[in-house]
Amino acid sequence: MSKAFTKETDGDEEEVALAPIPPGGKNYITPQGYARLRGELLELIDVERPKMVEVVHWAASNGDRSENGDYLYGKKRLREIDRRIRFLTKRLEIAEVVDPALHAGRDQIFFGATVTYLEDGETEREVTILGIDEADSAQGQISWISPVARALLKARIGDEVQLPTPGGLRALEIVAVRYPPKGERTDPDAY
């Protein structure tokens, strides 16, 4: 049978599952994280997708589509862009923007805090507690639903909290807590 009469899929057309939010929980995000996701969405809608539609249109006009690399790649890229647009749209619809600067000057840990703690009295670590969609562990950012964040939330400087791990309980002693200053609109890439 000719390829023209069959539907081939790359197996990548399933919807991207949203990262799990605890039952009754909310999708908290900082204003900077929200702006970054919204900027990505607008870039995809206004720039990336129209460019790719143009490439696919041009490639389709070149004839045989079954062996046209530009056409095949373009269609695949369009599906990826559309999937990302749907994902970002859903996430932004359920996002609850929380400005961590509201807690500036406090010694208690809330969403958006940058926390320095001692793990088992030895290793000093620093993490920033952010939203599910904006946390980047490579930059010391953790999601507010992560086990470490759950253990730290609501604690104060000087408190020692217990972090359950597969290897047993770990003691985390809070050394410092800081928030962005009030009224300061920081660069989204600073988080």
Q: Look at the block and give the residue holding tokens 């946390």.
A: 135
Asked if CATH classification 3.40.718.10 holds for the domain at 27-97, the reply, yes or no, is: no
Q: Where are the extended beta strands (E) located within 15-158? A: 27-29, 95-97, 114-119, 123-130, 141-143
Mean pLDDT, residues 72-100: 93
Quick check: pTM over 0.85? no
Where do the DSSP E strands lie in the chain? 27-29, 95-97, 114-119, 123-130, 141-143, 160-165, 168-178
Q: What angle do CA 77, 1, 12 make, to 5 degrees?
A: 25
Residue boundaries of the structural domains of the chain: 27-97, 100-180
Tokens standing for residue 174:
């809070």
pLDDT band at 17 (very low <50, low <70, confident <90, very high): low
Answer whether residue 16 shows pLDDT above 60.
no
Question: Which CATH number, 3.90.226.10, 3.10.50.30, 3.40.50.300, 3.40.640.10, labels domain 100-180?
Answer: 3.10.50.30
For the record, the structure tokens of 164 come out as 């359950």
**For residue range 22-42, what is the model confidence (pLDDT) as tens digits?**
666 678 999 999 999 999 999
